[in-house]
Amino acid sequence: MRTIDSDAHVIETMRTWSYLDDSEKAYMPQVVSRTEGVDDFNVDGIVKRNYWVVNRRIHDKEQNLFLDVAENSREMRDVQARIVQMDELEIDVQVLFSTLTLRPFADRAAIEFVLCRSYNRGLADI
């Protein structure tokens, strides 16, 4: 029997947005860091410091990091490491999701479209 992981995430990096066309660069997300204020924690209990800014809206960047997955694997910088981990977990297929795009993240569909396309182009390139 095959095992399918239907909620596998590839964490976005600035490389994710490098697939935007030149005319779309204005929509490229930025990263901001919080240095003051009340601590906010991710699912692993780690203090979140960095956030994506998309179309002047702030979004979690460090929410679903799953620190038991190596950074180079969760960011798909090392596909072989990802496959090794899948083998260890006896997973045959992973359905990949962008963490940022799990919920609406811009107030214009055109912005969401170009960022999702850049994410998908990045995965295709990998």
pLDDT in tens, 51-70: 999 998 988 887 766 667 78
Task: Spell out a b/e string for 84-101, using b for 16 or more CB atoms within 10 Å of the CB, else e.
Answer: ebbeeeeeeebebebbbb
Whole-number Å distance between alpha carbons of 121 and 70: 23
- The pLDDT value recorded for residue 42 is 76
Q: Give the tokens for residue 91.
A: 């997973």
pLDDT in tens, 62-110: 776 666 778 888 888 999 999 998 999 899 999 988 888 888 888 999 9
pLDDT in tens, 16-53: 999 999 999 999 999 999 888 888 887 778 788 889 99
φ, ψ at 103 (rounded to 5°): -140, 165
Residue 61 · residue 51 · CB < 8 Å: yes
